[in-house]
Amino acid sequence: MPEILHITTRSAWEQALGKGGYEPPSLASEGFIHLSDPHQVAAVAKARYAGVHDLVLLHVTTERLTAPLKYESADGDRFPHLYGALNLDAVTDVTPLAVG
């Protein structure tokens, strides 16, 4: 099954578990959730999460997504964007992520 990834904080993930769905601020402000293909994670983490601690990487199986997923150009690459809340059953693993 194809896998995409999302970087977030452990506390944001734990909040999502309590609410039954994951809706980061970007969903309200930009209309989608930023995700990455595996080869993009290191660059995204370095560019956007330097100095942030307690990060986790959500491993997402694309076949289980209930919201529309679109690949769109950004920063000279094509990134997966999820247009809706991330349903928790699409997350197959959560691993710690250290930036740096």
Q: What is the pLDDT of residues 2-23, one digit of tens each?
A: 799 999 999 999 999 999 999 9
Instruction: Put the strands of the sheet holding 33-34 in their side by side order.
Output: 33-34, 77-82, 69-74
Q: What is the pLDDT of residues 83-95, one digit of tens each?
A: 999 999 999 999 9
pLDDT for res 82: 98
In this prediction, residues 39-67 reach a mean pLDDT of 94
In this prediction, residues 33-60 reach a mean pLDDT of 94
Q: Which domains does the chain have, with CATH numbers?
A: 3-89 (3.20.170.20)
CA within 13 Å, CB half, 78? 4
Gap between the Cα atoms of 10 and 62, Å rounded: 22
- Based on its alpha-carbon atoms, the radius of gyration of the chain, rounded to whole angstroms, reads 13
In this model, does residue 1 exceed pLDDT 70?
no
